[in-house]
């Protein structure tokens, strides 16, 4: 009998190791953890400013976020497991998740022990305000891991980018400036290869580059409004650089056409002159 129990324990341990990764105490980060096979998960998330979430695909800073995770159908062959929690609200705002088992409120603990043979449903509720960020930040609103006999698995991980309209406007402005700089750079490089003087375009391009660098610095330092203004200047000088390069190319073409026209006129004059000379020689005149 003892041998059978030992064999069963070894098989179960091997099974656990095959679907999860054994790690140390885990709550905040769960990199490389496989999803738990010992519980079913249903998650609902509500955002206070849903229009912003729809337009940008993220959470608006300072808005209320409500997360409800319902765990059911715990694996019966396992006696118990421990749930560990991490949440931005718990770490930064000291707001503990609310836990109920089969409709009855329970004291919050992390880890929280679940009896697989008795507990039918475990509900975790987290509610709080997203941080007031000054640049786009990825926030872990809730992370749940499950420990079974020393092996940890991922139950749920809810991470969202938190941002605001002005932050997103700053990012858009910088991206537009980068695209215009790339376009100007291509135009200048193409003109340079043809031996065209693009010194004025180079000067404007350098100004645009400096403005973009400053815009990025303003963004990372948490000044989105200033970043937008500086990125706008970067776009202006990038467009100016492209125009200067195109103008230089156009001037060169015009000069080439003018030179061709002069050559053509000279050629016509010479042909007419030679033709008349031949005619005189033949006694036409």
Is residue 151 located within the same domain as residue 87?
yes
Distances (CA, A) of 62 to 48, 51, 75, 118, 164: 9, 14, 39, 40, 9
8 Å CB contact between 127 and 95:
yes
- Are residues 136 and 205 located together in one domain of the fold? no
Contact of 56 with 170, CB cutoff 8 Å: no
107 plus 31 within the same structural domain: yes
The confidence score (pLDDT) of residue 248 equals 73
pTM of the model: 0.73
pLDDT at 88: 94
Q: Give the contacts of 49 (CB within 8 A, at least 6 positions apart).
A: 60, 63
| Residue that the structure tokens 């135009």 belong to | 187
Quick one: 198 and 103 in the same domain?
Answer: no
Asked if residue 178 and residue 64 are part of one domain, the reply reads no
Same domain, 135 and 30: yes
The per-residue pLDDT for 18 is: 44
Which residues contact residue 198 at a Cβ distance below 8 angstroms, ignoring those fewer than 6 apart? 188, 191, 192, 244, 245, 248
Q: Which of 116, 131, 163 is the last residue of a domain?
A: 163
Calculate the CA 185 to chain-centre distance: 25
pLDDT score of 197: 82
Domain annotation covers residue 87: yes
Domain identity same for 79 and 125 = yes
The boundaries of the domain holding residue 175 are: 166-280
Residue-level pLDDT at 11: 35
Same domain, 210 and 273: yes
Last residue of a domain, one of 131, 163, 195: 163
User: Which residues of the chain fall short of a pLDDT of 70?
Assistant: 1-31, 249-285
**pLDDT at 235 (0 to 100):** 97
pLDDT of residue 36: 83
**Residue-wise pLDDT tens digits, 45-81:** 999 888 888 788 899 999 999 999 999 999 988 999 9
pLDDT at 261: 41
* Percentages of the chain per state (helix, strand, coil), in multiples of 5: 50, 25, 25
- Residue 117 domain flag: yes
In a shared domain, residues 64 and 152: yes
Give the residue from 163, 194, 229 where a domain finishes. Answer: 163
In a domain, 15, yes or no: no
Q: Is the domain of 114 the same as that of 216?
A: no
Measured between alpha carbons, how far is residue 25 from residues 83, 94, 150, 152 in Å?
Answer: 11, 20, 10, 9
Give the angle 147-149-126 at the CA atoms, nearest 5°: 15
170-214 pLDDT, tens digit per residue, is: 999 999 999 999 999 999 988 888 888 888 889 999 999 999 999
Give how many domains the chain has, as a whole number: 2
Write down the pLDDT at residue 273.
53
- pLDDT given for residue 247 in this prediction: 84
Taking the chain, what is the end-to-end CA distance rounded to the nearest angstrom?
Answer: 134
């Amino acid at each position: 009998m003892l041998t059978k129990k030992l064999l069963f324990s070894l098989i179960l341990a091997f099974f656990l190791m095959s679907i999860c990764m054994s790690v140390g105490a885990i709550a905040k980060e769960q990199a490389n953890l496989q999803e738990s096979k010992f519980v079913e998960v249903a998650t609902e998330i509500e955002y206070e400013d849903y229009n912003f979430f729809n337009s940008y695909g993220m959470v608006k800073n300072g808005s209320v976020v409500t997360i409800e995770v319902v765990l059911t159908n715990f694996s019966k062959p396992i006696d118990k497991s421990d749930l560990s929690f991490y949440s931005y609200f718990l770490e930064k705002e000291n707001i503990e998740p609310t836990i109920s088992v089969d409709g009855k409120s329970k004291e919050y603990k992390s880890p929280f022990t679940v009896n697989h043979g008795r507990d039918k449903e475990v509900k975790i509720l987290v509610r709080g305000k997203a941080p007031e960020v000054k640049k786009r930040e990825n926030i872990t609103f809730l992370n749940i891991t499950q420990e079974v006999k020393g092996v940890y698995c991922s139950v749920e991980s809810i991470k969202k980018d938190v941002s605001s309209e002005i932050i997103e406007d700053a990012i858009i402005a910088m991206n537009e400036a980068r695209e215009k700089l790339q376009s100007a750079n291509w135009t200048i490089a193409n003109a340079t290869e043809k031996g065209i003087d693009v010194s004025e375009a180079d000067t404007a391009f350098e100004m645009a580059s400096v403005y973009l660098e400053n815009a990025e610095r303003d963004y990372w330092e948490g000044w989105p409004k200033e970043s937008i203004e500086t990125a706008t200047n970067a776009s202006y000088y990038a467009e100016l650089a492209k125009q200067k390069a195109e103008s230089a190319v156009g001037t060169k073409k015009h000069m080439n056409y003018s030179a061709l026209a002069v050559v053509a006129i000279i050629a016509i004059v010479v042909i007419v002159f030679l033709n008349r000379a031949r005619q005189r020689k033949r006694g036409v005149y």
